[in-house]
Amino acid sequence: MGTVGTSGTGADRLRVAIAGCHRQVTRQPGSHNWATAFAAVEATAIVAVYDAGEATRRQFVDCWAQDAAAAGPAGIAAYDDFGRMLEEVRPDILCVATRQTQHAAQVEAAVAAGVRGVLCDKPLATSLAEVERIVGACREANVPLAFGLDRRWTGRYRWAREVVAGGAVGQVAGVIAYSLQNLINHGCHWYDVALALAGDPEVAWVSGLVDDVSAEPPDSNRRRDPSGRAQIGLANGATLYVTPDGKPGLAFEVLGDRGRLLLLNDGREAYLWQAAAPAGPVRLVAPEAAGLPAQPATPEGWEAGPNAVADLVAAVRSRDGAGAGGTQTACDVEAARRASEIGFAVHASSAAGGQRVAIAAVDRSLSIPSFLWGNE
């Protein structure tokens, strides 16, 4: 496996503890397999793992045993007690990949124990109260967070953000996000891409309706975490629109005062609508035909994982000797907050008949545990 990111060898490596490893017991790179991402970044070394399942812990250690030399003489220590792992290992970075019901308490405990960086898988939390606990802990201690929303670190979406910011469609008035699977568990991906394309403004209000799932079986994931449709007003005047329609696959449309950018097939295809003349017809062209940089090809493997880890390492290193300074990651604690707020606000609006609700007015205790996850 190749290496990326900032350099580091031996004692200079940042020591990583993994919490929740059920999707990290293979060396095949892929979404949620953060162990492969840390293994690909030479500045990090996995030194410990926590998981509630004994068999899962054993699988993880067996899978990554060949990397034990990089981890240090003790290899990879396995724990069934999260607090004990923090106390004995004192990791530099914590990767939180447990069920979201545990995220707030684990991030708080890790920050209190002195971790220097946190990588947290999605969804961030089960309520806005928990979101605020995570945000508050990281802010107060100046601990950088990387929220594991892959598309912040993929070339094709970085390209889309750059061409929109460069004026390809003019002033952005709105973004449409299609094929929304659910409002919490995967919804944060949709909201985050749409917010990024709109320039990462704050959310002002949400008006939406949750899908009727009363006919679903009691154990259905659609009942646990339904989809819905909503309008989201942004502080910069733009509006986001999210809908479960438009399947299959993620798709986004950026609406500007001089054109539109259409992203299909999870951003792998891009088309630009532009007016041929001020009063002329609108036509669909490849971005290159409009003089834009060509969209980058999607590489083999999981580019987002190592890029996210390298980004977090850089943010951690930027704080060395910087006091309260330091850089943030591409999906930092504030981006994580914004992407997490919307789904809960849609539920709140739907309960009020679809009325507009301000983020600040959403019940912080509203809990949506979403899907089951791991050994919890």
Mean pLDDT, rounded, for 60-76 = 78
What does the pLDDT read at residue 325? 83
Mean pLDDT, rounded, for 265-280 = 79
Each residue's pLDDT tens digit, 203-260: 999 999 999 999 999 999 999 999 999 999 999 999 999 999 998 889 999 999 999 9
Mean pLDDT, rounded, for 273-289 = 70
Is the pLDDT confidence value at 97 over 70? yes
pLDDT-derived band at 7, boundaries 50, 70, 90:
low
Residues 6+ apart with CB under 8 A from 105: none
Give the pair of three-digit tokens for residue 63: 């899978």
What does the pLDDT read at residue 1? 42
The correct answer on CATH 3.40.50.720 for the domain covering 10-150+304-331 is yes
- Domain made up of 155-290: CATH architecture: 2-Layer Sandwich (3.30)
What does the pLDDT read at residue 57? 97
Give the pair of three-digit tokens for residue 194: 């749409």
Each residue's pLDDT tens digit, 287-313: 888 888 999 999 999 999 999 999 999
Nearest to 155 by CA among 13, 258, 4, 42: 4
Mean pLDDT, rounded, for 35-62 = 97
Each residue's pLDDT tens digit, 110-149: 999 999 999 999 999 999 999 999 999 999 999 999 999 9
Helix, strand, coil share of the chain (percent; to 5)? 35, 20, 45
What does the pLDDT read at residue 204? 98
What does the pLDDT read at residue 70? 56
Element at 137 (helix H, strand E) = helix 128-141
Give the pair of three-digit tokens for residue 205: 């209000």
Q: What is the largest CA-CA distance in the chain?
A: 71
pLDDT-derived band at 37, boundaries 50, 70, 90:
very high
Crossing angle of helices 103-112/82-89, nearest 10°? 20
Residue spans per domain, the chain: 10-150+304-331, 155-290
What is the phi-psi region of residue 248: left when phi exceeds 0, alpha when psi lies from -120 to 50, beta otherwise? beta
What does the pLDDT read at residue 5? 47
Residues 6+ apart with CB under 8 A from 141: 111
What does the pLDDT read at residue 4? 57
Nearest to 130 by CA among 284, 311, 341, 371: 341
Is the pLDDT confidence value at 6 over 80? no
Residues 6+ apart with CB under 8 A from 128: 340, 341, 344, 362, 363, 364, 366
Residue type, 327: T
Residue 321 buriedness (CB in 10 A; 0-12 / 13-18 / 19+): exposed
Top-confidence residue, 226 or 66: 226
With contact defined as beta carbons under 8 Å apart, do 316 and 111 qualify? no
Residue 268 buriedness (CB in 10 A; 0-12 / 13-18 / 19+): middle
Residue 78 vs residues 85, 112, 256: alpha-carbon distances, Å? 8, 21, 52
What does the pLDDT read at residue 277? 53
Is the pLDDT confidence value at 161 over 60? yes
Is the pLDDT confidence value at 189 over 60? yes
What does the pLDDT read at residue 268? 94
Distance CA 157, CA 193 (A): 8
Dihedral (C-alpha) 43, 45, 51, 55: value to the nearest 10 degrees?
130
Average pLDDT over the chain, rounded to whole?
93
Q: How large a percentage of the chain has pLDDT more than 70?
A: 92
Mean pLDDT, rounded, for 86-110 = 98
Distance CA 92, CA 118 (A): 9
Each residue's pLDDT tens digit, 322-342: 667 899 999 999 999 999 999
What does the pLDDT read at residue 67? 77
